[in-house]
Structure 1
Amino acid sequence: MLAAYRKLFSLLLLVGYAWAIPGLGNGSPFGDFEVKEALSQPPAGWKTVSEAPADHLISLRIGLPQPNFEALEQHLFEVSNPDHERYGQHLSKEQVEELVKPSSASLDAVNEWLEAHGFAEVELDRSPAKDWVSIKVPVKVAEKMLGTKYNIWKHDESGDTLVRTTSYSLPKSLHAHIDVIQPTTMFSRFNPLATTLHLPDAPLRAAITYKAPSRASDARLASIDPACSASITVNCLKQLYNTVGYVPKAPKKNSIGVTGYLEQFANENDLKAFYAEQVPEAVNSTFKFISVNGGENSQDPFSAGFEANLDVQFAFGLTYPTPGTFWSTGGRPPFKPDLIVTENTNEPYAEWVDFVLKQKDVPYVISTSYGEPEQSVPEAYARRVCNSFAQLGARGISILFSSGDGGVGDGWDDPTQTKCKTNDGRNVTRFMPTFPATCPYVTAVGGTTDIPEISVYFSGGGFSDYWPRPAYQARHVSDWFKTIPKVLYKDLYNPAGRGFPDVAAQGTRFRVFWRGEGFGIGGTSASAPAFAGIVALLNDARLGRGKRPLGFLNPVLYQKGYAGLNDITGGHMNPGCGTTGFNSTEGWDPITGLGTPDFVKLKAILT
C-alpha cells in the first residue's frame, strides 16, 4: 500500500509540474513524444533496485547536431598528413568551434524546449561551440522532459549503482535537433586499465608464438641494463626506446598531460621519492594540478592512487623538464539513495573533454589509461565523445589511450565468457573492443613485455563495432588480414572495423612509488604514458627546430612513422572470449599495432 501511495504522489507531482510550465498544454509542439533511444534489454549483470528518488539530481548533457563535422574531419586529416601542403597547420580553438557549432534552427528549437520547461539561460552550461548544453535537474523533471522513468540499478559483480533508464523519448519536432542525451541509457563501468605484476599462472596465458631474438643480435639491446628484465624504470625506457643522451631543446614551449578519474590521486611525496630514485635532477619539481567537475587530488598518503602515480611518475619522469599537467575529474559512482542531492553521472570522458575544449592552451600530448567495453557506451554518445577528441586533434594535440587489459575480450581470465556477451538482445559471444581506444581520432597503445620485446598476453586489441576502418590504416590492416585464415573467429568481430591498437610499449614490471614504497605494476595503463613520453620528446625536437607539434599521430605513423618503430613479431597471443586471440606478426597486428618507439629513428623521420 505504501508503494502505491508513493507512485500516486509521484504522479501528482508530475501532473502539477506540467500544469505549471507554460507551453506544455494542448497544441504544444513538445507533447508528441517518440522514442529517441532504447535498449533491447537491460545490460547483463544490472538489475533494478528501486525507483529513483524524485529529487535526485541528474546532470543532463544534450548533444546538438554538428552539421559541419565532415569539414572538421577533412581539416584534421589534412593537417595530420605528412605529405599534404597543410601538414602541421593546426586550427585555432575558435576555428574548431566554428566548424562544430550547431545550426541556428537546432539552437532555437532546443532553447525553446528548455524554456518551456522553465529553464533560464543562466541555468544552462554550454560548450564553447554550443554543440553541448548541460542542465542540472531532479529526476522528476528529467522524467517529464524525456517521457521516461528512471530507476536505481545495481551491478551484480561490483556492487556499483547507477540512476538510469532503458529508454527515453523526445517530441518529434526535436529529433532532428538533438543527437543524444545522457545519462539515460549508458550503463558503462569506467575503469583504470592497470593490473598488478602478480600475473595469472601459465595455463591462463596463451602460448608464445615466436621466440624473440637474443640481445646479442642487436647491439643496442645488448647494452641495456640486465636489471631492466626484472624491473622497468625511467632509465630502462630511455635505453629501450633510444632516448639516452637526448637533452630537451625547448621544454618551456612543450607540454604533456595525464588524466585522472575515479578518485585516483597523484601523490606529490610519492613522485618526489620516485624522482629521488630514478630522476634525481627532477626531485624538486612537481606538476600542475587542475580540477575538473570538482575533482580532487588529496595528498593524504592513504589516498594515493596506483594508477595516477604510475601515469604521472613515468610520463613526467621520462620527459623532465617538460612541464606536466595532471587533471582530476570528479563524478564517480556509487550513488547512495539516501543522499538524494548527490549527483551521479559517471561520464568522465565528456566532463574532461568539455573542460579542456574550453581552454585556450592545452598540453600537446595527453595520456589516458582508462577504458570500458565499447558496447557499454551507447553508440550515439560514443561518437559524440570521439568527435570531441577530433576537435583536440585538429588543434594539434596528440591523444593517447591504453588499448585495454582484457585481450580480445573483457575478461581473458573469465572461463565462463560471461563478459563477452552482446547486449543487443541476442546475447551471443563476441569480442569486446575497448572504448575510447577504438575511436579513430586517438592513438591506442598496446602492451609488450621482456627484453627483447614480445607481445604481452593481456594487451587489448581487435576491431571496432562502431567505427569503420579509417583510410590511414587501410593498407597495413589489409596486409595483416592476408596472414590469417578467412574463417578465423568468424562472426566474433567486425573485420571491417577500425583496428587497434596503433602502437605499443612496455606494459609489465614498472617500478612505481606508492605510499612511500616501491612496487611493481603493469598493464597497458603503463604503456600509454610511456609512449606519450616519447611523443613529447619528439615534439620537443620539432619545437626546437621551429616546427609545430605532431598533433594527431595516426596518419603520420601509418604513412611514414612505422619505419621508426620496432616491429613486434611474436610473443603471447591475447586470449579472451573462449579463444586464444590474435598473434603478433610482422607488420601491424591487433595486439601490438605497428610496434614500439625508437626515438632516434622517429626523430629522423618526423622532425
Structure 2
Amino acid sequence: MWVSSLVSILPLVVFAFALPSKDCEHQVKEEVVSPQGWTIFGPAPSDHFINLRIALPQSNFDLLEQHLYEISDPYHERYGAHLTKEEVEDLVAPHPDSVVAVNEWLSSHGIQEEDISRSSAGDWITIKVPVWLVEKMLDTKYYVWKHSTSGEYIVRTTSYSLPKDILDHVELIQPTTMFGTFKRLKSTIHSISQTNSQVQSQNQPPVSDPVTGLTVDASCNTTITITCLQQIYNAVGYTPSAHVGNSVGISGYLGDFANKADLQSFFEDQVPAAAAVNATYNFVSVAGGLDSQDPADASDESDLDTQFAFGLSFPVKSTFFSTAGSPPFDPDVKTPTDTNEPYTDWLDFMLSHPNPPLTISTSYGDDEQTVPESFAIRACAEFAALGARGVSLVFSSGDGGVGDGDSNPTTQKCITNDGKNRTQFIPEFPASCPFVTAVGGTSLFPEQGVFFSGGGFSNYFPRPSYQDAAVQGFLNKLRKGTYSGLFNPNGRAIPDVATQSEFFRVFIGGVPFHVAGTSAASPTFAGFVTLLNDARLKKGLPPLGFLNPLLYSKAASGFNDITVGNNPGCGTEGFNATVGWDAVTGLGT
C-alpha cells in the first residue's frame, strides 16, 4: 500500500519541481479562529490524501436568481416556467478566464486534466492530492484536530492563501476551514421509544379543532400514523397517480440505511394498498453510498423519512438517495483516507441528474455558525439552481429551539464561534438558506408548537423580500428589547411552515417505535407537497418548484395558524407562537 502511494505521488513531485511556481505572491483567501471544541492533535500526515474541492465563481448567478423568483411568483406571467438542466448550467458555468487561470495554477503544481473531476456545469473542480502538496498550493499548514466531546478526528486548517492572480477566480476551497459536522451530518431526530405492537383503541370520541372544523381520531394525540396526518391536514380520500410524472425523494447520509422490510411492515400497518402490491422505493447510490438491508443496520432516521414521505404519497415514484459518509479520520492509520463533506457530493449528483425528484426532503443539518459562510452561500446558490429546475427542497428546521444542536435547552452553550464567545441564538443550516423550505414542528390536536421546534434568524443570509411583511409583523409584536443582541432581526427567518413532529409510529428493525423531531416534520410536509404536485400534474400544470414565494403570498390562506407554544433554548423561553408568522411554526400547518 505504501509503495503504491509513493508511485502515485512521484509524478506530482516531478511536476511540482519542474514547472514554474505561481506561489510567490499569496494572499489570504479565508481565515477562521480556532473553533470551539476542537484542539490540535498533531500535524497532518504528509501522505494523507484530501479530496480538494475548488469552487469557481458562477458567472451569472444574479440572472439565475432573477429567473428563479419570476418562475416561483404565482403573480408573475412566467410562474411555473422552470428552466432546463442545460439552461441552469449555462447560467452557473464559470467565466472562461477563471477556467484558464485555475487550470494554469493547477498545472504549475503538476496537476493535469486527467487528474481533475469537474461538475456538470464546470463550476466545481475536485482533485485528490496529498497533504504536502495541498499545503504548498495553499501556503498553509494542515493539522489533525480532535473534538473534545465526540472524540472525532478531522484534518483541517484555519487559514489558506492563493496566488494573487487567481484570487478572484476561486470562490472557495474545501476541506480547509470547515469544522462543522458536515463530514458527519447529525440527524434532527429528537427522541425515540419503543411502542405497542398495535395502535391502541382508546374508546374515546374523536377530537375536533374549532378553528379548522376538522375532526381526528383521539388516538392521534398519542400516536401519529398516515391516517392521522390525512385527517389533520384534510387529505382523507385523496388518491395520487403513479402515471403523471410525479416523484419524491429522500436524502440519506453517513450509513443511515433505509430498510425495505421495515417499509413493508409499515405499509402493512398503515398503508394496506401499498402492502398489497409489495410497493418499495428506488435506491440510488451517491458517491458510493451503500444499501445495507441487514435489520441491525436499519436507521431510525431513514426509516422514518421513507415510511412517512412514501406512505403519504403512494403510489408516486419514490427514491432514496444514499450518499457515502466520511469515516472518522484515524490518526494511527499509516495511509489514511478521508472523503470529506458528503453533502457536496449529493449536490453535485443532483445538479447533474437529468430528472431529479420534484420534491426532496432532507432531515439533516448543522449549526449555521460551524459552516464557513463562503460554503453556506455557495451551497445555498446550488439549492437555487435545483429550485429553478422545478424541485421543491424541504429541510427540517432543527431540534434545539432557538439554541444549538443540543436538544436539551438547559445544557445548550449558545456561544458564538468567532472567538468573541458571545451568547447568541443559533440558527440551523441548510434550513437558513432562503432557497429552501424550512419545516418546524407541532404536536397534539388541536395543534400547538412543540418545544424543540428550531426557529430564529440567519446570521449569514439577509431576509428575502418574500418574507418581509410576515416577519416584520412578528418583530413588531416582540416587546421592545426582547432578546436584543441574541438574534439578527434582519436575517432570513425560519421556519417557513410546520407539521406534526411527535409520536410518529415508525418500524425499525421490524419493531414499532415512537419517534419525535423535526426529522418527522420535513418528510411529512414533503409528502403533502407531493400530493399538491399530483393535483397540478393531473390538470396539465407544472410542479410547484421553489415553494416560498407562493407560501408567503397566494397560498398563505391555506395554512392553519398556530398560536400556542414556544421554543426554549440558550437559557431563555425562546420565541412564542402567535397570530401570523412566528419563529416557532412559521406560517403554520
Give the structure-1-normalised TM-score: 0.90
Note the C-alpha offset of 1:346: 3.8
SS at match of 2:477: coil
Residue in structure 1 matched with residue 3 of structure 2 by the alignment = none
Contact 1:437 1:501 in 2 (8 A): yes
Residue in structure 2 matched with residue 378 of structure 1 by the alignment = 372
Contact 1:192 1:370 in 2 (8 A): yes
Q: What is the aligned counterpart of 2:76 among 73, 79, 84?
A: 84
Contact 1:366 1:400 in 2 (8 A): yes
Note the C-alpha offset of 1:173: 1.0
Q: Which amino acid aligns with 1:300?
A: D
Q: What is the aligned counterpart of 1:415 among 403, 410, 414?
A: 410
Contact 1:505 1:530 in 2 (8 A): yes
Contact 2:223 2:503 in 1 (8 A): yes
**CA–CA distance in structure 2, aligned partners of residues 252 and 301 of structure 1:** 34
SS at match of 1:499: strand
Superposed CA offset, 1:460-514 (max 9, x none): 0000000000001111001111111231111111000000100000010000000
Residue in structure 2 matched with residue 451 of structure 1 by the alignment = 445
Note the C-alpha offset of 1:215: 2.4
**CA–CA distance in structure 2, aligned partners of residues 364 and 219 of structure 1:** 29
Structure 1 position 192 matched with structure 2 position 209: no
Q: Which amino acid aligns with 1:118?
A: G
Alignment of 1:10-409 (within 5 A): 17=13, 20-24=16-20, 28-39=21-32, 41-189=33-181, 190-197=185-192, 215=208, 217=210, 220-222=213-215, 224-249=216-241, 251-283=243-275, 284-409=278-403
Contact 1:164 1:184 in 2 (8 A): yes
Contact 2:16 2:108 in 1 (8 A): no
Superposed CA offset, 1:542-589 (max 9, x none): 000001000000000001111001111112x11111111000001100
SS at match of 1:232: coil
Contact 1:386 1:436 in 2 (8 A): yes
Residue in structure 1 matched with residue 518 of structure 2 by the alignment = 524
Give the number of equivalent residue pairs: 563
Contact 1:250 1:541 in 2 (8 A): no
SS at match of 1:274: helix
Q: Which amino acid aligns with 2:470?
A: H
SS at match of 1:482: helix
**CA–CA distance in structure 2, aligned partners of residues 151 and 365 of structure 1:** 40
Contact 2:70 2:78 in 1 (8 A): yes
Superposed CA offset, 1:357-387 (max 9, x none): 1111110000000000001000001111110
Note the C-alpha offset of 1:216: 5.8
Structure 1 position 565 matched with structure 2 position 551: no
SS at match of 1:566: coil
**CA–CA distance in structure 2, aligned partners of residues 143 and 77 of structure 1:** 41
Superposed CA offset, 1:225-274 (max 9, x none): 11111100111111111111111145441000000011100001111111
SS at match of 1:317: helix
Query: In the superposition, relative to structure 1, how do residues 469 and 216 fare at CA in structure 2: closer, same or farther (>3 Å)?
Result: closer
**CA–CA distance in structure 1, aligned partners of residues 236 and 209 of structure 2:** 19
Q: Which runs of 5+ in 1 are unaligned?
A: 1-12, 200-213, 597-607
Contact 2:241 2:315 in 1 (8 A): no
Note the C-alpha offset of 1:161: 1.3
Taking only aligned residues, the RMSD between alpha carbons, in angstroms, comes to 1.8
**CA–CA distance in structure 1, aligned partners of residues 421 and 354 of structure 2:** 45
Query: In the superposition, relative to structure 1, how do residues 416 and 268 fare at CA in structure 2: closer, same or farther (>3 Å)?
Result: closer
Structure 1 position 548 matched with structure 2 position 533: no
Q: Which amino acid aligns with 2:109?
A: H
**CA–CA distance in structure 2, aligned partners of residues 487 and 218 of structure 1:** 32
Contact 2:15 2:110 in 1 (8 A): no
SS at match of 2:552: helix
Give the structure-2-normalised TM-score: 0.93
Query: In the superposition, relative to structure 1, how do residues 195 and 552 fare at CA in structure 2: closer, same or farther (>3 Å)?
Result: same
Superposed CA offset, 1:29-49 (max 9, x none): 43211111111x211111111
Q: What is the aligned counterpart of 1:579 among 558, 564, 572?
A: 572
Q: Which amino acid aligns with 2:19?
A: G
**CA–CA distance in structure 1, aligned partners of residues 273 and 337 of structure 2:** 43
**CA–CA distance in structure 2, aligned partners of residues 251 and 484 of structure 1:** 48
Q: Which amino acid aligns with 1:149?
A: K
Query: In the superposition, relative to structure 1, how do residues 593 and 121 fare at CA in structure 2: closer, same or farther (>3 Å)?
Result: same
Q: Which amino acid aligns with 1:258?
A: I
Contact 2:432 2:494 in 1 (8 A): yes
Q: Which amino acid aligns with 1:143?
A: E
Q: What is the aligned counterpart of 1:434 among 390, 409, 428?
A: 428
Q: Share of identical aligned residues, percent? A: 55
**CA–CA distance in structure 2, aligned partners of residues 88 and 495 of structure 1:** 31
